[in-house]
């Protein structure tokens, strides 16, 4: 939304676990997740997600990574979790047109094994030619937990590409 109304003030947008393409309804957190969040808290949602994605997500397989994921996820506010889900449902229909014509750099980072966001960001690349997409091979949706070094490297590349001197002078 900020990009839609303030694109002239933004130097760059980096999509990590996000997309300008709406997430298909069947890929959104289901109503069970929302009910668990509002009745039992985010720790219960983390446990539910682990059960649902067993064998599909590296962050849920390794016990050390799982404990880190659960700890971080449990700190997420229920309100924030619900708001994030609602936000992807209320994304403006014309956001890709706005991004296509915006005078800012557009970057995306995705793990090659993150089926949902790999598809969405590939569509973004088709619809927005200036969208610069970096794929981190062998990583899933939780690459921030599983391979933060690779994520940091790509972020550093992107941030180096933003002319910060111009931004300071604006």
pLDDT in tens, 97-124: 888 888 888 999 999 998 889 999 999 9
pLDDT value at residue 7 = 62
Mean pLDDT of 26-45: 84
Average predicted confidence (pLDDT) for the chain = 83
Integer CA distances (angstroms), 132 to 94, 103, 107, 115, 142, in order: 20, 14, 5, 18, 20
pLDDT value at residue 84 = 81
At 12, phi and psi to the nearest 5?
Answer: -160, 155
Ordered DSSP codes for the chain: -HHHHHGGG-SEEEESS--SSPPPGGGSPPHHHHHHHHHH-HHHHHHHHHHHTTTT-HHHHSHHHHHHHHHHHHTS-HHHHHHHHHHHHS--TTHHHHHHH-SSEEEEEEETT-HHHHHHHHHHHHH-TTEEEEEETT--TTHHHH-HHHHHHHHHHHHHHS-HHHHHH-
Bridge-partner residues for 53, per DSSP?
none
Q: How confident is the model at residue 149 (pLDDT cuts 50, 70, 90)?
A: very high
Q: Are the beta carbons of 42 and 76 closer than 8 angstroms?
A: yes
């Amino acid at each position: 939304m900020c990009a839609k109304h303030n694109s002239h003030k933004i130097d760059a947008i980096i999509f990590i676990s996000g997309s300008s393409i709406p997430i298909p309804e069947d890929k959104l957190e289901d109503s069970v997740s929302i009910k668990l969040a509002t009745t039992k808290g985010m720790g219960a949602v983390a446990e539910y997600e682990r059960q649902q994605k067993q064998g599909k997500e590296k962050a849920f397989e390794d016990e050390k990574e799982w404990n880190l994921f659960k700890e971080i996820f449990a700190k997420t506010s229920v309100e924030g979790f619900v708001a994030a889900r609602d936000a992807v449902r209320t994304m403006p229909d014309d956001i890709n047109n706005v991004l296509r014509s915006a005078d800012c750099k557009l970057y995306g980072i995705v793990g090659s094994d993150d089926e949902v966001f790999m598809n969405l960001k590939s569509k973004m690349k088709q619809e927005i030619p200036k969208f610069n997409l970096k794929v981190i091979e062998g990583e899933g949706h939780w690459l921030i937990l599983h391979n933060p070094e690779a994520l940091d490297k790509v972020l550093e590349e992107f941030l180096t590409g933003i002319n910060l001197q111009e931004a300071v002078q604006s």
